[in-house]
Chains A and B, each alone.
Chain A
């Protein structure tokens, strides 16, 4: 038991570090595996319409079907009912990068949550 103690401590520490690691892109939720997100760029048009570009890559060895959308929220954090939040189908090409561009429904959109679902 005594010899196991250092390993147990190490295991516990690793688990703690694992739990403490923050999602680097809290505004992007991925359902399923096979993709890696490496960049999220927020911007605005001259008249204040928000835009987001999500860059990532497929880590799967074959093509996969996926879909994505951005849910937009107003100043009071209420979700905005809009056609621009409908799901868009896409094919994730094996081990290839992808870029998703989403535009908000107007200058009243303040916050977003991108959802990517690998099917």
Chain B
């Protein structure tokens, strides 16, 4: 009888502890402890730095007027962590779109079309009697990109002494003018962290 009561009590206690351990974080004012790995604040800092640098450089100002069409090329993850590089790229894209200087194509990207629908609607619907052909996209309407954004995220782990290590991350981005192949803007944003040797960054 006592055993059942004890089991019930411990279960009730552990579930109460679990519920108390969860809190929702306001990312705009979060002062929580930082991690050895890359967290959302690092992506935010890198994106903020890149966008400010891009806008102040004038590299996204089209001298002919209108918006540049940007394609997202390859962003290489050369770290020991599993990172979705869209966490960085998406923030930059949103800001550039909102700035009114750039529009991003989803028909071309470093890994083929970002949105396959661009081609699907042409290949599958063109000439298909089931669809009103006057509403099917015509040939030659996709807009080719003017500029391309590529980059790399690097990680270096250095031992400081027996107890401490330094983890360095580098967010490197390049904007290329596709007409000339010249890099018209480049940015490197380093994030340096120091932590115990026992911490693991992945």
A107 within 8 Å of B by Cβ?
yes
CA distance A28 to B107 in the complex (A): 44
Given contacts A45-B56, A49-B56, contact A83 B61 (CB under 8 A): no
A84 within 8 Å of B by Cβ?
yes
Given contacts A83-B51, A107-B100, contact A88 B45 (CB under 8 A): yes
CA distance A83 to B28 in the complex (A): 10
B149-167 contacts to A (CB < 8 Å): none
Residue from the list A87, A88, A104 in contact with B55, Cβ < 8 A: A104
CA distance A60 to B100 in the complex (A): 42
Which partner residue on chain A sits nearest B60 by CB separation?
A47
Q: Which of B69-77, B91-99, B176-184 contacts A (4 or more CB under 8 A)?
A: B91-99
B172 within 8 Å of A by Cβ?
no
- Is the CB–CB distance between B100 and A108 below 8 Å? yes
Which partner residue on chain B sits nearest A43 by CB separation?
B56
B101 within 8 Å of A by Cβ?
yes
Q: Chain A's nearest CB lies how many Å from the CB of B74?
A: 22
B133 within 8 Å of A by Cβ?
no
Collect the chain B residues with CB atoms within 8 Å of residue A102's CB.
52
B48 within 8 Å of A by Cβ?
yes
Residue from the list A45, A49, A84 in contact with B48, Cβ < 8 A: A84
Our count of residue pairs bridging A and B at CB distance below 8 angstroms stands at 54
Given contacts A83-B47, A86-B48, A108-B100, contact A103 B95 (CB under 8 A): no
- Is the CB–CB distance between A106 and B55 below 8 Å? yes
Shortest 7 CB-CB distances between A and B: which pairs? A106-B99, A103-B52, A103-B56, A47-B61, A49-B55, A86-B44, A83-B48
Q: Is the interface of B mostly helix, strand, loop or mixed?
A: helix
- Is the CB–CB distance between B58 and A84 below 8 Å? no
Which partner residue on chain B sits nearest A82 by CB separation?
B95
Q: Chain B's nearest CB lies how many Å from the CB of A39?
A: 19
Residue from the list A47, A51, A88, A105 in contact with B51, Cβ < 8 A: A105
B18-56 contacts to A (CB < 8 Å): 28-29, 41, 44-45, 47-48, 51-53, 55-56
A46 within 8 Å of B by Cβ?
yes
Which partner residue on chain B sits nearest A108 by CB separation?
B100
- Is the CB–CB distance between A47 and B52 below 8 Å? no
CA distance A47 to B53 in the complex (A): 14
CA distance A57 to B48 in the complex (A): 24
Interface string of A83-100 (1 = CB under 8 A from B): 110111000000000000
- Is the CB–CB distance between B58 and A106 below 8 Å? no
CA distance A86 to B28 in the complex (A): 7
CA distance A91 to B111 in the complex (A): 40
CA distance A52 to B99 in the complex (A): 17
Collect the chain A residues with CB atoms within 8 Å of residue B94's CB.
83
- Is the CB–CB distance between B58 and A46 below 8 Å? yes
CA distance A84 to B92 in the complex (A): 10
Interface string of B157-201 (1 = CB under 8 A from A): 000000000000000000000000000000000000000000000
